[in-house]
Structure 1
Amino acid sequence: MMKNRLRLVFAGTPDFAVPSLQACLDSNAEVVAVYTQPDRPSGRGRKLTASPVKQLALAAGIPVEQPESLRNVESRGRLAELQPDLLVVVAYGLILPRSVLGIPRYGCWNVHASLLPRWRGAAPIQRAILAGDDESGVDLMQMEAGLDTGPILLERRIAIADDETGGSLHDRLSMLGAEVLADGISRLLAGEVADADVQSEVGIAYAHKLDKAEARLDWSEPAMALERKVRAFNPWPVAETVVAGERLRIWSAEALPQTAAAEPGTVLRYAVDGVDVATTDGILRIREIQRDGGRRISVRDWLNARPGLIELTSDSKPE
């Protein structure tokens, strides 16, 4: 067991990192500082807004550091002055140079939302859904210079549900990450030496950053791939397409096993339970949409605003 209280510095920025910061605050470690990205413009007024992690840190009375980079001598010197035993990094958004990794006595830990070495990189949650993975999880990793290449201290796995969205998996992994981190800190405080597992050289995949251009639905893809895209990109950047001459954001859709003798992209049916579109393999039924400047609504509500569309196909009338 450690004789002195563990001095911990936390580095994170978005909502995903908040439960992990709370786990640190709830532990028997001493959180001496929180690092987060500088305040950014947000909302329609583009006002400078504190990150979710900063908001929690300030509410807890923890000093906050917001350097633009950790590559300069001044920022590294400031971190060294804190004399951290451990630096915990969760979705921080800034690269830690090798010189920073060696400052804490126990090095730097990272909470990563995938089962490494699969989905190293920026968008592991969405890439897992896009690829049709059956499971995901969280790895507590000892950081080294490579991109998510460090040895694994602890791992937890969860199944990916058939209706999983990027948002729902994000929230589940965020909480799971906090549990894994709390376990790791408890073990360190108890003096347990973790047997870190070197990552396999087999199964490496990179989760490249999401691009809004990816959100456009390509009807030459199979219906199941398009359904996964809709789910993965909910709530950001949200899948989109043009239906009946109108650009729509697609929040919910379902792949149907039926086939259609029609060109991919052809609308087969407008009905209150969904708009059916032909793909290269199967049919995609669009269920929830968002018009430009509007809110998220059901297809039923959209058809009520465009009653002429339902007459283009046969058998259902909006109620």
Structure 2
Amino acid sequence: MRIALIGQAAFGADVFNKLRERGQEIVGVFCPPDPPKGKLDPLKEAAQAAGVPVFQPPRMKDPEAEKQMQALNADLGVLAFVTDIVPPQVFNLPRLGSICYHPSLLPKHRGASAINWAVIYGDSKTGLTIFWVDEGIDTGEILLQKEVEIGPDETTGTIYFNKLYPLGVEAVVAAVELIQAGSAPRIPQDHAAATYEPPCDEKVSGMDWNIPGRALYDFIRGCDPQPGATTTWRGEKVKFYNAAYSAACHSHTPGEILEVGPTSLTVAARGGTLKIKRLRTKDLGKVKAEDFIKAKQPQVGERFGT
């Protein structure tokens, strides 16, 4: 089939390469404009290396994107890691429409930060969905889904890179082949069961030391590696990563430093303790706990969240 691929980053590049390996014809690639500084997008590099036309409209809503898509005469549009809004006048142009990869079991966790919120809410499973694109946000008919477990100590980063990234590349290819064979389903979503969460960014990354320790740990896991769970200490903003949780009875105030170890900080939480192995501050950047300890000299009894 003649495929127009819209995407970015390593995921988009891997989808591009895998589709070509399976004999699909990619007639054009859409990816974000080049950054002022830094490396080119991996998808753009892969397309250029293969001699496939690359289009980089400032926004997919711009008239030039519609004209470029129309000129490709594509059979199918494939959205592989898209953060821009693709309008109907673009995604409806391919003869068979367009499909999109989404890292959750739709209709649960619609939105841009599906993996983050699945972890933050303590879900025991998540997955991915390939769906037919429509005018809503992740509301289209389901083509296929794959389920994965969320381990009790996994982070957003480990779930994505170890599970949903590689499984997602294979799922996109499988979906395209189902469409090519004329056997791709269109299963309506149960909109009554849908959930939608906002982007997991700096606006929502603040830690609440009053919630139960396990929930706080889930929040830290869900914000790892981005945006990083945020608290305060000595009047400055601090982010936590690489945490571990232990249920324990104690009488300490949540946020209080209980132990300054050689490679971690142990901090009180409601109904348990957190062991923090990596932190970020404005002056140090993201560092191991031992580097934070050496530079800042935290003391037992000091409190985060003040």
Fold equivalence (TM over 0.5): yes
How many angstroms apart in 1 are the aligned matches of 2:233 and 2:250? 18
Match of 2:143 in 1: 153
Question: Which region of structure 1 is more displaced relative to structure 2, 242-251 or 255-264?
Answer: 242-251
Aligned position for 1:44: none
Find 2:164's aligned residue among 173, 193, 210: 173
Residue 255 in structure 1 maps to residue 250 in structure 2: no
Instruction: Render the CA deviation track for 1:135-162: whole Å, top value 9, x for unaligned.
Output: 1111111111111111111111111122
> SS at 1:120's partner residue?
coil
Whole-Å separation in 2 of the counterparts to 1:303 and 1:285: 13
- Relative to the length of structure 2, the TM-score reads 0.89
In 2: Cα distance, 1:84 partner to 1:31 partner: 9
Match of 1:52 among 36, 42, 65: 42
The question of 1:18 aligning with 2:25 is answered no
Q: Output aligned runs, 1:133-212, within 5 Å.
A: 133-171=123-161, 172-189=163-180, 191-212=181-202
Other structure's SS at 2:159 match: helix
Structure 2: segments with no counterpart, 5+ residues: none
CA contact (8 A) 1:221 1:281 kept: no
Distance 1:226 1:308, change over 3 A: closer
1:110-144 CA-partner distances (Å, limit 9, x unpaired): 01111000011111111111111111111111111
- Equivalent residue letter for 1:161: G
Residue type matched to 1:20 in 2?
V
Q: 1:301 and 1:38, CA in 2 relative to 1: closer, same or farther beyond 3 A? A: closer
Contact 2:80 2:100 in 1 (8 A): yes
In 2: Cα distance, 1:14 partner to 1:131 partner: 27
Alpha carbons of structure 1 residues 17 and 281: separation in structure 2 relative to 1, 3 Å? farther
Task: Give the AA of the match of 2:25.
Answer: E
C-alpha distance 67-216 of structure 1, shift in aligned 2 (>3 A)? same
3-state secondary structure, aligned to 2:278:
strand
CA distance in 1 between counterparts of 2:272 and 2:152 reads 17
Q: In 1, Cα distance between the equivalents of 2:239 and 2:59? A: 36
The residue type paired with residue 7 of structure 1 is R
C-alpha distance in 1 between matches for 2:217 and 2:11: 24
Cα shift at 1:28: 1.6
- The number of equivalent residue pairs is 301
Q: In angstroms, what is the RMSD of aligned CA positions? A: 2.3
Query: Per the alignment, in what secondary structure is the counterpart of residue 168 of structure 1?
Result: helix
Q: Residues 152 and 197 of structure 1 are in contact (CA less than 8 Å); yes or no, is this contact kept in structure 2? A: yes
Question: Which residue of structure 2 lines up, in the alignment, with residue 68 of structure 1?
Answer: 58
Q: Could you report, residue by residue, the CA deviation over 1:274-311 in whole angstroms, capped at 9, with x for unpaired residues? A: 3232333432222222444335444344434556736x
Do structure 1's residue 277 and structure 2's residue 267 form an aligned pair? Answer: yes
Q: Secondary structure at the match of 1:33?
A: strand
CA contact (8 A) 2:111 2:137 kept: yes
Q: Which residue is 1:117 aligned to?
A: 107
- In the alignment, the residues of structure 2 paired with residue 19 and residue 162 of structure 1 have an alpha-carbon distance, to the nearest angstrom, of 29
Amino acid at match of 1:215: S
Residues of 2 paired with 1:270 and 1:243: CA distance?
Answer: 15
Counterpart pick for 1:37 among 19, 32, 41: 32
- Measured in 1, the distance between the counterparts of 2:217 and 2:292 equals 20
Task: Check if 1:217 corresponds to 2:217.
Answer: no
Letter in 2 for 1:28: G
The answer as to whether partners of 1:121 and 1:147 remain within 8 angstroms in 2 is yes
More off after superposition, 275-284 vs 107-116 = 275-284
In structure 2, do the counterparts of structure 1 residues 157 and 64 end up closer, same or farther at CA, with 3 Å as the change threshold?
A: same
Instruction: Could you tell me which runs of 5 or more consecutive residues in structure 1 were left unpaired when the two chains were aligned.
Output: 1-5, 42-46, 314-319
SS at match of 2:191: coil
